Each structure stands twice: as structure tokens, then as C-alpha cells.
Structure 1
């Protein structure tokens, strides 16, 4: 049953008020939502602004760091450039010093050869003088025979004179070759390889080194043995350099046997003592892929403890003033770096030492 107030249904009035309350509530919610949205936007703007400020601050800090780093790099580059200049100067000084040391070593070895060279030159000069004197006497005889009219005797004397002149020329050439070898040894290496008779080169330096040592110590004697391969071909090497290697190894061998001679009175053999006979041996042979030269002595040998050091620069077992310590080091570099070969040592104490030079077959002159 409907209830009326002033002719209006109360139920309709209730519905109307519900609609008014709902509309008001909805409007209030919309207003609150807009306010929250504005607040949220303001908060987002604030956060963005703070983020931008932080980013700008970080950019400024990073820029400053990069600037400082760049300055550090520039200073480092300047220091590196200075160090490079210093290193270049040091390297130049080291190379100059190395060249001086090498030249000193060459001159030292040349000094050791001087006496041997003088001995070797004296022999052919003696022959030249003797044949010249004989030839002068034969010319006097020829003049007498010409006056007598003995033409047959004149022809015989002339034939003898011709032989004498040939011998004078031969020994003169021998003296000339010794001087030439001395000059080649003393001058700077050309670095040019040429076909070389290694048998002749080794024999030459063996005799020069021996007579050089004999000039220093006339009481010293040693047996020199050579076992040269007669079929050894000429080898393409730098003769001055290989000559220096051979000279150093041969000098060391004679030094070793001389030292043992001074310290040894006899060696036991079959229950008896026999005199020690110092011996230096040079052997050459052609292998399948190399040429091998061995310089061997029966000296005291090299102690095992220092065997690995003998090719190091400035290492020497000789007393002060008797060795620069550069000989074997230079020899090793000449053979290995200059000729692509090997230089090895085999030594046993109280038995002797062998140095073996091996030049690859590619160095052969075909």
C-alpha cells in the first residue's frame, strides 16, 4: 500500500533522494580522483626534476673526471716520449759500446796473432832472401860462362835462375797472403759471404795461433793434428768472421793444453806414468746436410758447473787481464745468427774439450 505526502508518493521521494546522494557521492569521488591525479603529476614532475639534477651532476662529475684523465694521459704521453728518447739514446750508446767491445776483441785476437804472423812471414822471407842471394851468385857464374862462350852452361844456369825466380814468387805470394789475412782479420766484416776453403782457413789459423803462443812461451810445445776431409767443398761463408771463430776456439784449445802442461807431470797409463803430450786436433767433414768443423784439445776440460755459462758475454775462466769473456759469445753469435749454424761443446774434466761448428748444407757453394 502506497503512502502519500502532499499528494506525492513517499516511495518516489526515497528514490529521488537516493539518486541525489549517489550523484553527490560520484561527484565527490571524481573531485578526489582529479586532486590525486594532480598530486601524482606534481610528484612525477618533482621526481623528474630531481633525476635531471642528479643526471646533470653526474655528467659534470664524469666530464671533470674525463678532463683530468685526459690531462693525466697527456702527462703520461710526455713522460713516455721522454723515456723513449732516453731509451733511444741508451740503445745508441749500447750499440756503440758493443761495436767498440767487438773491435777490442778483434784487436786483442790480432795481438795474439802478431808473433805467429811474424814467424809465418819470416819463413817465406828467408826463402826469398836465400834464393835471391843464390840467384845473384848464379848471375856472376853466367857472366863468366858467357865470356867463355859456353852456351850450354849459360842455358843451364838460366834454367836454374828461372826455377829460383819461380820459388821467390811462390814464397812472396805466401808472405802476401799472410799479410792479406791479417788485414782481413783486423778490418770490419763486410757481411758478404763468399766461397771459402775451410780446410785451408783452419790450417792457417792453427799454425798462426801455435806460433803466437810459442813466441810468448818458448818452452811450450804441442802436437797439432789435422784430419781434413779431402772432398770438402768450398762453403759460402763470411771468411773474416769464420776465421775469428776458428782463431778463438784454437787459442782456447792451446791455452787449455798449456795450462794442463804446467800442472801435470805425468798421467797414469797401464800402471806407469807417461809424459803428458798436449794435443790440439782439427777435424772437418761433410755430412748429409751440414759441414762440421771440430776443434779438440786434451786439456783439463770444462767443469760441469760452468759449462752452460761459457757462451755468455763477459764470462771467462781465465785470470784477470788474460780474457775479455767476449770471444766465445761472439763466436756463438757469428755461427748461429750470422750463418744459421750451431756451435756446441762437449767436455769432460781431465780428458779434454771439443767445440763443434756445424754449418747447414744451405751454406754450401754449388
Structure 2
């Protein structure tokens, strides 16, 4: 390449071309808008130096290249994170250095420059191709950088989308959590109301049971009270006769002794029937109390007999036309068993009441020759007390039999049962006394409940 007279002007042209390339390559109008204003005016500096170069020594062109190199270096520093910018600085550095050295030598040592001119021309050619090569490399790097930038932008966009989805999901989760919390609170409120309703229903069942018991007691207690009243009247008459005999001058001691004996017997009978009435009242009070869980030795035979009669008279109090036969077969060897009497009494009253209700319903069907019968029996088998309550009533259908111990299940018409009686009885026997309560029934023939508790 010939750099003789016009080489400096060619160098200025190359410098301006390099600056414009760098501006376009690095997009300085967008990346460095304030600095790009000065870069875009570099051709003015070139014209000024070319004019000065006509009248002044050539080293002024050296300052031009130094300024160009400094401008490129400053630009690269501002965009150091862009790898192609650093490559451009490396591309222009050899050519700048060579031009500066060449112009300085031409100024301070023309003879030496002439002797080495051929080397400078060769070096200029090499540095020019170096510049072109590294510009191509920088261009490839820019493409790679642009691809990386695009990938990063796509990743950033993906992250933005994911972040948006995340925020949306978090909002939905928070909204759903609030909804679940609200539903949980509503369910807890509903559960509280259900428990309150359940307690009310249990109380209603107990009061219904107590009503059955009270109706039976009202009839059952009448007998001992009649005996007490009758023997009291007879005893008053005997006392009057005894007082009259004692006022006579000629007293009959044998008659007085006979009157005293009769009076004693009457008082014993009054005491017996008074005790009977007291035991009935005590049973009613125990039945009306809440379960204390306290066991006590109890005569199971007497308990069964008492609640059998009370259940019968309770139904009779509601329906005066109802009559039934009740039979007992008690094992006298049982003795007293440790149970909670008021709770076991509830179970027996419920079973007997259901039994009498079943025979009453079958009686209403008008079956010819039908005699309503309810029986109760006790046995001790393998250290187990077995209480059997049987009736010849309507029986229980097979489909219904599996449900009778479920809470709130009843076959009675609306208003006649809560569906808690057998459920409570089952819990009292199985949970309260560690026993079992089973049922055997055939529709149209009768039902048998078998209650087993440890002796």
C-alpha cells in the first residue's frame, strides 16, 4: 500500500470511517446519546486537521489519531460490559500505534524514517488487515451477543410471565385460603349448632323417657298408696277400739292383745307399701338425673320387673283400651350386679316401651286371636348377665334392622319418636357397661333384644 503523500489523508478517512462504524456498531445514539453528539462531529475535527496539515507540520495528524483512539477507548469503557466493544478497541490499537510512531519519526528523524519506510508500509498493511479482521470478529461477537441478549430478554420475559403467574396464583391461593377459612368458620358454627341441637334432642329423648316413666309411676304408685290409706283407716279404728276397751272397768286383756297384734300388722303393711312407693319415687328421681357414672350393686331382677310394669302402665295411661300380657322368667341366683342403675333403667324402659308399642300396633291391625305379650328374662351365662326382652309384635324388616341403633333413625310416625332411644341405649350398654346389645326379629312375628353385660 502506498502511503506517501496522501497517506495521512487516507488515515484521517479511515479514522472517520472507524468512528462512524463504531457509532453504528455500538448503537451509541441509543446507548450513549450525550457522548454520541461529540462522536458524530469527528469529521469536523478531521477537516480542521487536514487544513492545519497544509500549513503546519504533519505531527498534528498524530494528535488526531490519539484523539480518535481516546474517543474509542472512552466509548469502550462506557460499554465495557459489551464484549464486541472491547474487540474493536483491540482492532484499532495496532493501527493507531503504528500511525503515531510513523508520523513522529517522519517529523523528528526523516532519514531514519526513509530507511525504514518499507517496514512501516508493510506494518500499515498488516495493521489494516488486522483492523478488518477484528472488525469481522467483533461483528460475529455482536451477533452472538445479540443472540444472547435476545435469549436473556426472552428469559426475562419468561420470568416476568412466570412472576405474573406466580402473583396471580398467590392471589388465587390467598383468595381460596380466605374462602376455605370462611367455610371452616361456617362449618365450625354449624357444628356448634348441631351439637346444641343434638343436646336438645337428647334432652327431649330423656324427657320423653321420663314422661313414659312418670305415666307408669302415676298408675303403679297408686296401689301402695291405696294400701297405706286403707290400713291407716283400719289402724285408726283399731286404736279407737283399744282406747274404748281401756276405759272399761272390766278390761278384756285378750281383746287388747289381739287389737295390738292387728295394729302392729297394719303398721308393718303400711311400712312395706310406703317403702314400695318410696322406691318407685327414688327410681323416678334416679332416672331423671344425668349419668354420674357411679356404679352400685343392683338387683337386676327387681330392676327389670319394676321397669316392665312402669312401661306397661305408661302406655296404658295414654291408651286406656290397651291390654297386654307380660311375663317374667328371672334367674334368682344372679344376686346384685355392679351397674349404673339409672342408666340401665333407661335402657330397659326404652326396650320395654318399644316392645309394648310393637304389640299395640299389631293389635290395631285386628289380627284374629292375637294376644299381645311382652316377656323379660334374666340368665347368668359364662360370667355374663343376659337380659332378654321379647315381644310378639309387628317385628322389624330386615332392611331396617341394620339401622335401628343409628342416631335419629326411627320407624315411628313424626312426633312419636326422636330416633335417639335405641342409639342411647346402645351407647349405655356398649360404652358405659362394656356389654353388647343385639336384636333378633322376624317381620310379622316379633322381636327379641338380647342385652349382655359382665357380671
Same fold (TM over 0.5): yes
Give 1:353's match in structure 2, choosing from 447, 450, 454. Answer: 447
More helix by share: 2
In the other structure, the counterpart of 1:128 is 228
In the other structure, the counterpart of 1:65 is 165
The equivalences for 1:182-201 within 5 A come to 182-201=284-303
Q: Which moved more, 1:69-78 or 1:87-96?
A: 69-78
State yes or no: 1:210 paired with 2:312: yes
State yes or no: 1:175 paired with 2:257: no
User: For the structure 1 residues 49 and 319, does the alpha-carbon distance in structure 2 shift closer, same or farther, using more than 3 Å as the test?
Assistant: closer
The equivalences for 1:35-74 within 5 A come to 38=138, 41-74=141-174
Cα separation, 2, equivalents of 1:174 and 1:65: 82
Q: How much has 1:43 moved relative to structure 2?
A: 4.7
In the other structure, the counterpart of 1:302 is 396
What's the Cα RMSD here? 3.3
Give 2:360's match in structure 1, choosing from 258, 262, 278. Answer: 258
Of structures 1 and 2, the larger Rg is shown by 2
Q: Which moved more, 1:162-171 or 1:82-91?
A: 162-171
Return 5+ residue gaps in structure 2 as ranges.
1-125
Q: How much has 1:331 moved relative to structure 2?
A: 2.6
Give 1:276's match in structure 2, choosing from 334, 353, 370. Answer: 370
User: For the structure 1 residues 193 and 53, does the alpha-carbon distance in structure 2 shift closer, same or farther, using more than 3 Å as the test?
Assistant: farther
Cα separation, 1, equivalents of 2:255 and 2:418: 62
Cα separation, 1, equivalents of 2:174 and 2:296: 53
Q: What does the per-residue CA deviation read over 1:213-267, in whole Å, with 9 as the maximum and x for residues that have no partner?
A: 333444433221112222335444433332222112111211222233343454x
| Residues 441 and 448, structure 2, Cα contact 8 Å, conserved in 1 | yes
In the other structure, the counterpart of 2:203 is 103
Aligned length: 331
Q: How much has 1:205 moved relative to structure 2?
A: 0.9
Q: What does the per-residue CA deviation read over 1:15-72, in whole Å, with 9 as the maximum and x for residues that have no partner?
A: xxxxxxxxxxx99999998677655654554444344333333333333333333333
Cα separation, 1, equivalents of 2:296 and 2:139: 99
User: For the structure 1 residues 196 and 45, does the alpha-carbon distance in structure 2 shift closer, same or farther, using more than 3 Å as the test?
Assistant: farther
Q: What does the per-residue CA deviation read over 1:328-347, in whole Å, with 9 as the maximum and x for residues that have no partner?
A: 33333333344443322211
User: For the structure 1 residues 51 and 137, does the alpha-carbon distance in structure 2 shift closer, same or farther, using more than 3 Å as the test?
Assistant: same
Give 1:79's match in structure 2, choosing from 179, 199, 206. Answer: 179
Q: How much has 1:296 moved relative to structure 2?
A: 0.5
Runs of 4+ in 1 over 6 A off after TM superposition: 26-36
In the other structure, the counterpart of 2:92 is none
Return 5+ residue gaps in structure 1 as ranges.
1-25, 267-274
Q: How much has 1:207 moved relative to structure 2?
A: 0.5
Please, what TM-score do these two structures have when normalized by structure 1? Answer: 0.76
In the other structure, the counterpart of 1:88 is 188
User: For the structure 1 residues 34 and 190, does the alpha-carbon distance in structure 2 shift closer, same or farther, using more than 3 Å as the test?
Assistant: same
Q: How much has 1:129 moved relative to structure 2?
A: 1.0
State yes or no: 1:244 paired with 2:367: no
User: For the structure 1 residues 54 and 289, does the alpha-carbon distance in structure 2 shift closer, same or farther, using more than 3 Å as the test?
Assistant: farther
Q: How much has 1:137 moved relative to structure 2?
A: 1.8
State yes or no: 1:229 paired with 2:331: yes
More strand by share: 1
Cα separation, 2, equivalents of 1:182 and 1:29: 121
Q: How much has 1:183 moved relative to structure 2?
A: 2.6
| Residues 213 and 310, structure 2, Cα contact 8 Å, conserved in 1 | yes
| Residues 201 and 418, structure 2, Cα contact 8 Å, conserved in 1 | no
Please, what TM-score do these two structures have when normalized by structure 2? Answer: 0.63
Q: How much has 1:119 moved relative to structure 2?
A: 1.6
User: For the structure 1 residues 200 and 154, does the alpha-carbon distance in structure 2 shift closer, same or farther, using more than 3 Å as the test?
Assistant: same
